[in-house]
Amino acid sequence: MDKDDIQLWLALKLVPRLAAHRKIALVKEHGLTKLFSYKAAQLQAFGLSKNQANAIAAPDWQAIADIIAKSDQAKSQIVTYSDPAYPSLLAQIYDPPLVLWAKGDKTILNTPQIAIVGSRAATQAGREYASQLASELSSVLTITSGLALGVDAAAHQGALHARQNTVAVIATGIDKVYPARHKLLARNMIEQGGVIVTEFMPGTVAKPGHFPRRNRIISGLSLGTVVVEAEVKSGSLVTAKSALEQNREVFAVPGSPLNPMAKGCHQLIKQGAKLIDCAADIIEELVIPGSSGHVIQVDEKIVKTHQQGLLNDALLASVDYEITPVDMVVSRSKLPTDEVLTRLTMLELSGLVSAVPGGYLRLHRG
Half-sphere exposure of residue 165: CA atoms within 13 angstroms, side-chain side:
18
What is the predicted pLDDT for the residue at 101? 98
Say yes or no to pLDDT of 7 above 80: yes
- Residue range 352-357: average pLDDT? 88
E strands in 34-156: 77-80, 99-104, 113-117, 142-145
- 3 state SS of 338: helix
Average pLDDT, the chain: 91
- Domain(s) of CATH 3.40.50.450: residues in the chain: 106-298
Separation between Cα atoms, residue 134 and residue 160, nearest integer Å: 9
- Residue range 40-58: average pLDDT? 97
Least confident of 98-107, 150-159, 233-242, 314-323: 314-323
- Residue range 121-138: average pLDDT? 93
DSSP symbol at 18: -
User: 353 falls in which pLDDT band (50, 70, 90)?
Assistant: confident
Say how many C-beta atoms besides its own lie within 10 A of residue 180's C-beta: 7
- Residue range 146-168: average pLDDT? 97
Least confident of 252-256, 263-267, 309-313: 309-313
User: 364 falls in which pLDDT band (50, 70, 90)?
Assistant: low
Separation between Cα atoms, residue 23 and residue 149, nearest integer Å: 34
Least confident of 28-42, 75-89, 278-292, 314-328: 278-292
Say yes or no to pLDDT of 292 above 60: no
What is the predicted pLDDT for the residue at 314? 72
213 against 305, higher pLDDT: 213
301 contact partners, CB below 8 Å, separation of at least 6: none
Amino acid at 72: D
Widest distance between CA atoms in the chain = 82
Say yes or no to pLDDT of 296 above 50: no
Residue 17, sorted as left (phi over 0), alpha (psi -120 to 50) or beta, turns out to be: left
Say yes or no to pLDDT of 310 above 90: no
Q: What angle do CA 342, 345, 351 make, to 5 degrees?
A: 150
Q: With 0-12 CB in 10 A as exposed, 13-18 as middle and 19+ as buried, what is 131?
A: buried
Question: Quick one: how far is CA 200 from the chain centroid?
Answer: 16
What is the predicted pLDDT for the residue at 346? 79
Say yes or no to pLDDT of 289 above 90: no
Say how many C-beta atoms besides its own lie within 10 A of residue 234's C-beta: 20
Say yes or no to pLDDT of 153 above 90: yes
Cβ contact 173:202 at 8 Å: yes
What is the predicted pLDDT for the residue at 300? 47
What is the predicted pLDDT for the residue at 160? 97
User: 363 falls in which pLDDT band (50, 70, 90)?
Assistant: confident
Say yes or no to pLDDT of 196 above 60: yes
Say yes or no to pLDDT of 274 above 50: yes
Cβ contact 227:155 at 8 Å: no
In sequence order, what are the beta bridge partners of 359? 356
In sequence order, what are the beta bridge partners of 224? 114, 249
Separation between Cα atoms, residue 50 and residue 218, nearest integer Å: 34
- Residue range 323-346: average pLDDT? 88
119 contact partners, CB below 8 Å, separation of at least 6: 126, 150, 151, 228, 229, 230, 231, 234, 236, 261
User: 365 falls in which pLDDT band (50, 70, 90)?
Assistant: low
Among 207, 215, 256, CA closest to 237:
215
- Residue range 9-33: average pLDDT? 97
Architecture of domain 313-362: Orthogonal Bundle (1.10)
Region 106-298: CATH code = 3.40.50.450
274 against 320, higher pLDDT: 274
- Domain(s) of CATH 1.10.10: residues in the chain: 313-362
Least confident of 148-157, 176-185, 251-260, 356-365: 356-365
347 against 283, higher pLDDT: 283
User: 290 falls in which pLDDT band (50, 70, 90)?
Assistant: low
